């Protein structure tokens, strides 16, 4: 009888193979993660594209970009239309142009507890289009501070967004508002201006704005419309900071409006920049212009260029290669 010699890996050979596999996995994982982030960043750009097109459709239908609403206490009421009588913000006003008319219409023709229930249902309805997939999901987030909204109640959970409309280049003024619809309807333009400390914003969407495209004299392609907003990563899900404690359908507030008087910034743990544009993405953020195009804006953009991009009528000529 002949003996058959069985060959196999030695211990040293097995260790070498395992080491090689480990090296290959170590090289592959970053590439896979980079590909996933590239896909998420592209989805974020697509979100902003859809939001900007909805705002443009609103402008074409009503003669002005969506109003910024009354203040953070207020949510949208479909019975009050699309003018500056509408207390809800831009996130509410563009719903019909995002194929979300049933969500926009909640509460229409109702009163009392029936209307409150319907409006609360909207506040508790997240939409993936309003969230950057690199940052957080479209889910309900806690109403940590127990805010009650006019004219609805106090929901336990609310939908939040990661995008903000362009308030302008000069500064953020006030977030308070009238205590009732009748009180707001009875205010003069000067009295309304007092809620902004007597100042006017030079952006596109702000308190009770009704801005037509014709007044964007710096050019639609040279003016921000809506973009990613800065958030502190420590509080993506808590609802504790003042710039992320509301819902995406409210009126004039830092949760849904940002300005360009400070440079945009990548999200950083422990850092609060409650009025700035910014993003979780490395190197740059996405900003949609008033012509519907979406641009990649570097965090190292010249602060003066970034400031001018927030103003609708600065009169300054920009080098398009600077952003």
The answer to whether 228 and 216 have CB atoms below 8 angstroms apart is no
Alpha-carbon gap, residue 191 to 82, rounded angstroms: 21
Report which of 79, 86, 150 is spatially closest to residue 108, judged by C-alpha positions: 79
pLDDT (tens place) for every residue of the chain, 323 residues total: 555 555 666 877 778 888 888 888 777 777 767 788 899 999 999 999 999 999 999 999 999 999 999 999 899 999 999 999 999 999 999 999 999 999 999 999 999 999 999 999 999 999 999 999 999 999 999 998 988 899 888 999 999 999 999 999 998 887 688 999 999 999 999 999 998 888 889 999 999 999 999 999 999 999 999 999 999 999 999 999 999 999 999 999 999 999 999 999 999 999 999 999 999 999 999 999 999 999 999 999 999 999 999 999 999 888 766 66
Report which of 129, 163, 157, 159 is spatially closest to residue 143, judged by C-alpha positions: 157
Q: Which residues pair with 153 in a beta bridge?
A: none
Q: Could you report the per-residue pLDDT of 250-285, keeping only the tens digit for each? A: 999 999 999 999 999 999 999 999 999 999 999 999
How far is C-alpha 13 from the geometric centre of its chain's CA atoms? 55
Contacts of 80 (CB under 8 A, 6+ apart): 86, 87, 181
**What tokens were used for 138?**
């479209």
Task: Report cis status (omega within 30 of 0) of the bond before 232.
Answer: no
Predicted TM-score (pTM) of the model is 0.90
**What tokens were used for 263?**
């440079």
Would you tell me how many other CB atoms lie within 10 Å of the CB of residue 24?
Answer: 10
**What tokens were used for 110?**
């109702």
Q: Where are the alpha helices (DSSP H) in the chain?
A: 11-62, 90-93, 101-104, 112-123, 181-185, 189-194, 303-309
End-to-end Cα distance, the chain: 83
Q: Could you report the per-residue pLDDT of 56-109, keeping only the tens digit for each? A: 999 999 999 999 999 998 999 999 999 999 999 999 999 999 999 999 999 999
């Amino acid at each position: 009888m002949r003996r058959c010699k069985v060959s196999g890996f030695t211990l040293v050979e097995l260790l070498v193979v395992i080491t090689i596999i480990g090296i290959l996995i170590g090289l592959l994982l970053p590439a896979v993660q980079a590909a996933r982030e590239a896909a998420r960043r592209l989805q974020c750009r697509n979100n902003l594209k859809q939001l900007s097109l909805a705002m443009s459709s609103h402008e074409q239908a009503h003669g002005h970009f969506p109003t910024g609403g009354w203040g953070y206490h207020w949510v949208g009421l479909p019975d009050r239309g699309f003018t500056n009588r509408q207390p809800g913000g831009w996130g509410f006003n563009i719903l019909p142009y995002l194929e979300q008319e049933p969500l926009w219409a909640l509460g229409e023709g109702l009163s009392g507890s029936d209307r409150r229930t319907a409006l609360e249902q909207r506040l508790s309805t997240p939409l993936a289009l309003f969230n950057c997939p690199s940052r957080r999901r479209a889910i309900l987030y806690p109403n940590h501070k127990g805010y009650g909204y006019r004219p609805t109640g106090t929901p336990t959970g609310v939908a939040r967004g990661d995008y903000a409309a362009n308030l302008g280049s000069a500064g953020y003024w006030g977030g308070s508002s009238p205590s009732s619809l009748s009180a707001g309807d009875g205010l003069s333009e000067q009295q309304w201006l007092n809620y902004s400390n007597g100042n006017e914003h030079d952006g596109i969407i702000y308190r009770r704005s009704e801005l037509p495209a014709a007044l964007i004299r710096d050019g639609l392609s040279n003016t921000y419309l809506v973009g990613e907003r800065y958030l502190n990563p420590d509080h993506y899900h808590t609802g504790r900071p003042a710039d992320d404690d509301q819902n995406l359908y409210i009126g004039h507030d830092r949760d849904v409006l940002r300005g360009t008087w400070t440079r945009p910034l990548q999200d950083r743990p422990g850092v609060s920049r409650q009025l700035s544009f910014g993003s979780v993405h490395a190197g740059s953020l996405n900003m949609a212009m008033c012509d519907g195009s979406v641009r990649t804006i570097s965090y190292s953009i010249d602060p003066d260029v970034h400031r001018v991009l927030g103003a609708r009528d600065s009169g300054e000529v920009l080098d398009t290669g600077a952003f």
